[in-house]
Amino acid sequence: MNSLSRIDAPASRLTHPSRIYYVHPLQLNGMEAWRETFRHASGLGFDTVLTAPLFERAPHSSVFVPRNVDRIDPALGLGEDVTETLRGLATAAGESGLRLMLDLVIDRVARQDRESDPAVADPRVPPDENCAQTIDLSPSDQTYRHLEEWRQRISALVKAGVAGFRCLGVERVPEEAWASLIRSARAASKETSFLAWTPGSDFDRRRALKGTGFDGCFSSLAWWDLADGWLAEEHLLQREIGYQIAFPEAPFAKRLAHGTESCEVLERRALRALKLAAHLGGGLMIPMGFEYGASMPLDQMNGDGLGLAAFRDQSAFDISGEIRSTNEKLQQEQEEFHRRPWTLVAGSHTSAVAILQSDREDLRTSGKVRAVIINRDLRQTAAPPLNAIQQIASSFLPLAEIETAGGPRLKPGEVRILEGTASDLIRAPSPLPDLALAAAAPRLAIEKIAPAVDEGRFPVKRVVGETIRVEADIFGDGHDPLTAALLWRAVDEQDWHEVRMQLFENDRWQAEFTPRRIGRHEYAIEAWRNPFAIFRYEFTKKHDARLDLKLEIQEGTDLVAAAAEDAAGDLKEQLRRLVEELRDATEVRRIELLLAHQTSEIMAKADRRPFRLRSQVVPVEAERIGASFASWYELFPRSQSGDPNRHGTFDDV
């Protein structure tokens, strides 16, 4: 077999995210400069030093475009033997408690035809493409031989002490090739780390990296404008690759301290980017010079070899203490938030935004949340969007600041961290109601009965022969239509008279009755669910919509058959004949029968009234006709003389 198809991808594994100090080798000259850099990185709390490639370059080419990968660049002052040089660097790094990692580029080499011509450097072309020849890694015998050379080379580097690699060109190199190289390196050392440089690559390409064996990748946080939502989408996607390492500024890219703003503003920008990288990534990477506010970017093609002293002497500010403190917190911090989804929260009328993180995939089942609040303005204070945050994290209140408490407003460029845990449920002191009683509770309600005096405590006054209109609100759970009836009688009667009520407005029902005798009467309202009425309502809707009614026809037939079993006398015989006709008729005839008004009347008589509910009894006093207009009046004759000085008599009256 002579293609990449025979390469089996190793299983992906997850290790603890690294805290990386990135080094440009052309800035260092000789082993002592490297030792000083290792001590400096260790003092800042890093656990890893990552360097750009050390291999021999062609003239006027980038460090990422090697001419000879089996020889160290003589300009570095480290000798020429790759194995001995890297063994020495790894040993020196280990003396400072650090791991040594190396940038890995396998698909580009220097052009052999014009490498000595200084005019070949085109300023319009990126430095890592100038004087470079791209190697085609599509499946072929040549590709297999090329990858086999790199497998052996990487194994030798790992044995020399290189602890891991940052893999560049993931968008150009097939995932099968990465899987092959990673598997070969892990055979030499299981602890070898591989990190994919994913910023700028297509999302589909990143999805293809899942399962290739990468321990992690890099976040694009450094290019985020603190407003757009694409970073949350990237974060969700790259979890499948492994842990993510964030950085405040990218190696060889424009520096945060570059610009015409004051040193104070530039320092605020750097500190804000540092804190965001620490809180939004699983690991952290800082390019050399960032701690001193270096304004000039690292140059892939050149370096002064003056080491850290060049950055210190030209420093705009020094945030080494903040970097050290950040690394200490990262070392102690649990990874509960780093691999979980997060939500961008923006408030109105403020320049501040927040990122809400949770310790589980679903906020509703989370036990802890964190809000990273950012003031995007580097010159003015801003109000934190607390209302928006608390609405989303309402189950985790109160949210407390995990660092020193700040004021009510965010300082310019400030990053504030709030955390909260899931609130305990309030336990009622009284026991929960019996489930059986709750299940037996009525599913219907009858309210606002009229006429009624003080909800039935006193009788309603009417005249014999006067029609009394009764109204009430009747409703239940769900949207099924209900049936209601008005029951009334004289108090000396045993049986109730029944009048069906009609729905006339929202949940308002009405019916009328007329008392025929003088004296006390009473009325009540009864409501229930009518299964056939509910069926007929839905059946009519579906019939009008010209839907298939086979199942509905069978359902209606079963309802009629069930009613026939419980009925008696002549009603039972009517229902039995209806069932027989429904079972023998054509589909069109069965639909007509189920929609017929006569069927509704028969089923109404057979209605067993499930979930029946009766209201309280309301008394009514039916008076004689004269009570509506005639009254007795009383007066005192002695007060009717018309003369205030004389007592009145009957004649005066």
Full DSSP string of 105-170: --SEEE-SSSTT-GGG--TTS-TTTTTEEEPP-SSSHHHHHHHHHHHHHHHHHHHHT--EEEE--T
The predicted structure's pLDDT at residue 527? 94
Given a cut of 60, whether residue 9 has pLDDT beyond it is no
| Per-residue confidence band for 417, with pLDDT thresholds at 50, 70 and 90 | very high
**In whole numbers, what is the pLDDT of the chain averaged over residues?**
88
Given a cut of 50, whether residue 514 has pLDDT beyond it is yes
Q: Are 47 and 193 in contact (CB under 8 A)?
A: no
The predicted structure's pLDDT at residue 23? 97
The predicted structure's pLDDT at residue 120? 53
Residues in CB range of 25: below 8 A, 6 or more apart: 51, 52, 53, 54, 63, 73, 76, 303
398 preceded by cis ω (within 30°)? yes
Given a cut of 70, whether residue 410 has pLDDT beyond it is yes
How far, in Å, CA of 110 to CA of 146, rounded?
15
Given a cut of 90, whether residue 162 has pLDDT beyond it is yes
The predicted structure's pLDDT at residue 361? 87
- Amino acid identity of residue 2, one-letter, is N
Select the highest-mean-pLDDT range: 132-141, 486-495, 545-554.
486-495
How far, in Å, CA of 209 to CA of 171, rounded?
10
Given a cut of 60, whether residue 430 has pLDDT beyond it is yes
| Per-residue confidence band for 3, with pLDDT thresholds at 50, 70 and 90 | very low
The predicted structure's pLDDT at residue 231? 92
Residues in CB range of 444: below 8 A, 6 or more apart: 474, 475, 476, 482, 527, 528, 529, 611, 613
Q: Are 282 and 17 in contact (CB under 8 A)?
A: yes
Q: Are 250 and 198 in contact (CB under 8 A)?
A: no
- Percentage, residues of the chain above pLDDT 90: 55
Q: Are 604 and 443 in contact (CB under 8 A)?
A: no
Q: Which two tokens stand for residue 533?
A: 């009425």
Given a cut of 50, whether residue 13 has pLDDT beyond it is no
The predicted structure's pLDDT at residue 117? 53
| Per-residue confidence band for 123, with pLDDT thresholds at 50, 70 and 90 | low
**Stretch among 187-196, 319-328, 403-412 having the lowest mean pLDDT:** 403-412
The predicted structure's pLDDT at residue 110? 83
Given a cut of 70, whether residue 119 has pLDDT beyond it is no
Residues in CB range of 511: below 8 A, 6 or more apart: 469, 470, 484, 485, 486, 499, 500, 501, 502
